[in-house]
Structure 1
Amino acid sequence: MLLLYIIGIRVYTLLIRIFSLFNPKAKLFINGRKNVYTQIVQKINPAEKHVWFHFASLGEFEQGRPVLEKLKTLYPNKKIVVTFFSPSGYEIRKNYALADVFYLPIDTAANAKRFITSINPEMAIFTKYEFWHYYFKELKQRDIPLYVISGIFRESQAFFKWYGGFYRNILKSVTYFFVQNDESKTLLKSIGLNHVTINGDTRFDRVYENAQSPKQLSIIESFIGNSPTLVCGSTWPEDEKILSVLPGKYPDWKFIIAPHEVHESHIESIEKQFPVNSVRYSIFSLSDQTLNAEHQTLIVNNIGMLSSLYQYGKVAYIGGGFGTGIHNTLEAAAFGLPVIFGPKYDKFQEAKDLIALGAAKSISTADALINAFDNLAANGNAANEARKYVADQKGATDEIILMITKSDRP
């Protein structure tokens, strides 16, 4: 199985190299790793101990960020290294003030030895998932504590299959698991991993904190006026196609679309689907032009505003549910926005919980979208349930910090 793993890593890298010839994201993935060790030498003193946080992408960074920032607050002199697998995380957070940030080199035996030697971690913290054979093995051999926070496991994963021995061995390198739910704890115990506690999801702490003091956006305030607003976050083309039925049907509403990708061709595609009274955010942020009452749809063609946009909404639509899975519903729920999303949400416990509370609805068609929109827009209790759900779930960060910093670590 190890041979298959090595082949899989090499094939994946080869495919990314091929895609990088015409795909900008793949190009960033390859080029960002070319000089990673040179960057490390320039920024890192290997004689000093570091706390290593790894995140797959931007979503996992926001999930683990409360733990990182709380650790830095309690121990301001600690050196922190952050790594990302995906360009969508690295490119946005590469200048993050509290840590030195790098791409994670591809998981090979040589890279694991060289990288871990270079950053000299006193502990490693991985958020939610990404389980790398050589990195985990190297950490264990060096007796460096490895924690998985906000972990979530499903019975369908290879760890819990008859053929999953290789993958189970990767998990055995983990010092401690902090998981989100009972199912995850039960599954880990079923394969002999008992060093696990249920602490919940650290994203609740992050989104709750953000909702207490959001950044005020004067352009958005000017755009919405007194109109009820649907904030559409992290949308993809499949989401935008179905959302395009709403503006004409609800002329009294305002619509804010913050797509997951903001390259020019995608923005142009959104404009074609929302041809009447739509406008780009950049037109007003980069000029002296003013919004007027006839503008109904605002297309946010930049990155980093979404978590502040939800404060201006009455209902939220969360993208990704027609692709690999929905994006962050909790950012919206923290502001008391009931949420709508596509059909692929089964991997997200918070989505299931919000549906059960009547604070969310999953849709697959335009008609279902209209029905969900009508229902949630008129349901004041849905907003209260969304806000309360987030407030009730916070607290995981403090529990994790307490356990990983005590001298007799579990």
Structure 2
Amino acid sequence: MPKFVYTLLMYLVALLLPLKLLWRGLKQPEYRQHVGERYGFYSQTAKAPLIWVHCVSVGETRATQPLIQALLKEYPQHQLLMTHGTPTGRETGLQLWQQEIASGRVLQAYLPVDTPGAAKRFLNHFNPVLGLLMETELWFHLIDQAKRRQIPVAILSARLSEKSARGYAKLGDLTRNGLQQLALVVAQTEADAQRLQALGASNVIVCGNLKFDVTPPADSAEKGAALRQLLGKDRTVCMAASTREGEEALILDAVQNSDILLLLVPRHPQRFAEVESLLKARALNYVLRTELAQPLNEDVQVVLGNSMGEMYAYYAASDFAVMGGSLQPLGGQNLIEAATMGVPTILGPNMFNFAQVTREAVAAKAAVQMADISELATQIDTLTRNAEKRKAMSEAAKEFALKHRGTTQRLMAAIEGLLRK
């Protein structure tokens, strides 16, 4: 794709963006806030050298937690700017860094649409000394404008599936030039590194997956135990974690003849009402997490996890989990959180966004992966009936998560090198 075609597409995106924000804002009013930032107009200003970290949504924001902690500690003379692409990502950042944001040590903003003008306004306004893009966010005008200003930009914890690599390859020189303008690319795995190098990245190193270094909130186990008291200690609790469109129905079909309690946690909060409508349509006896104040009656079949910020507590209250995003061809969701909490996990056949960690988790016997979705009911039944297997998988999951820690230290060493330059 020639760069001028990409530029025209970005201007079209900018032109249609208000309609998208208005539409999304019907279900999630936060989309109608801070609209000016989407075009590179900001009110808050930096008062110290600024390190900019971009984490588009909830998953990336949570994954940056150990890195942000390390940056705040190692560079006390700097401010940090966290940019996001979604309101839920921004809200997650606020929950994690409320005190630092209140004190001004951490700033938050939306990253603007990638037009030349918006990219210039963003960089002129904040003038960061370093830009860190989490996972694989390639914004070609922003990278180009940063290069012109001699602002080093790196991609950290980069992952690139074969499918995504094929998509970027179709952009030809646009992708190649963008990757070559980066000061550093830090890949999660050797396979990710090889795919990025094949696309044109030249300065690539491998540091592992930052998500392994995320520490659950200190009260996660306590909150999980309190939640489990409400769910019932004598019931087997299966958590459907971060489910996405079309997956809830598949899971409900798989457990319809089971006596387990299903803790159903949709990935996106704007779908809570949709999933509740599905439960009503199936005439299931369910309770909303936000209304759960007394121990459940035994006839309750489903608890709908419609709260925010409780994922670790949900895992701590569960006997095992089914991973959302993997039952449909959506690439899967983060299984590391489950492993960290020692929760045995059933993975669907579509974990291509987490291919390496999936292979390693299965090899470590921390998780099982289905070859086909038709196995779901059998896998759920096996773990429901076999407490010893759940216990063995739980121990394996904890050991697996602990073994892969240490990425933050390697990233900080790479960041130090960039700042020295």
TM-score by length of 1: 0.87
Task: Specify every segment of 5 or more residues in structure 1 that has no aligned partner in the other structure, as ranges.
Answer: none
State the shift of 1:174 in Å. Answer: 1.1
Give the one of 359, 363, 367 matched to 1:352. 359
Aligned residue in 2 for 1:403: 414
State the shift of 1:127 in Å. Answer: 0.5
Give the one of 386, 391, 409 matched to 2:397. 386
CA contact (8 A) 1:17 1:27 kept: no
Aligned residue in 2 for 1:315: 320
SS at match of 2:156: strand
Matched, 1:114 2:126: no
Aligned residue in 1 for 2:103: none
Moved more, 108-117 or 82-91: 82-91
State the shift of 1:310 in Å. Answer: 0.4
Structure 1 consecutive aligned stretches of length 4 or more whose deviation exceeds 6 Å = 36-39
Aligned residue in 1 for 2:192: 184
CA deviations 1:284-342 (Å, max 9, x no partner) are 35xxx553343342112122111221012121112122153222211111122222233
Q: Give percent identity, aligned residues only.
A: 22
CA contact (8 A) 2:180 2:202 kept: no
Matched, 1:44 2:45: yes
Task: Specify every segment of 5 or more residues in structure 2 that has no aligned partner in the other structure, as ranges.
Answer: 101-105
CA contact (8 A) 1:282 1:301 kept: yes
Aligned residue in 2 for 1:281: 289
Letter in 1 for 2:111: L
* RMSD after superposition: 2.8
SS at match of 1:40: coil
Residues 61 and 7 of structure 1: is their aligned pair in 2 closer, same or farther, counting only changes over 3 Å? Answer: same
Aligned residue in 2 for 1:292: 297
State the shift of 1:36 in Å. Answer: 6.2
SS at match of 1:302: coil
Give the one of 324, 333, 345 matched to 1:327. 333
State the shift of 1:361 in Å. Answer: 1.6
Give the one of 164, 173, 178 matched to 1:170. 178
State the shift of 1:265 in Å. Answer: 2.9
Moved more, 135-144 or 257-266: 257-266
Letter in 2 for 1:174: L
* Number of aligned residues: 401
1:6-405 correspondence to structure 2 within 5 Å: 6-24=7-25, 28-29=30-31, 31-34=33-36, 40-41=42-43, 43-45=44-46, 48-94=48-94, 96-97=97-98, 98=100, 99-156=106-163, 157-158=165-166, 161=169, 164-190=172-198, 193-206=201-214, 209-210=215-216, 214=220, 216-217=222-223, 218-251=226-259, 253-263=260-270, 265-272=273-280, 275-285=283-293, 289-321=294-326, 322-348=328-354, 349-358=356-365, 359-362=367-370, 364-365=372-373, 367-377=374-384, 378=386, 379-380=389-390, 381-405=392-416
Give the whole-Å Cα distance in 2 for the aligned partners of 1:363 and 1:231. 20
Residues 220 and 343 of structure 1: is their aligned pair in 2 closer, same or farther, counting only changes over 3 Å? Answer: same
State the shift of 1:231 in Å. Answer: 1.2
SS at match of 2:297: coil
Residues 139 and 19 of structure 1: is their aligned pair in 2 closer, same or farther, counting only changes over 3 Å? Answer: closer
TM-score by length of 2: 0.85
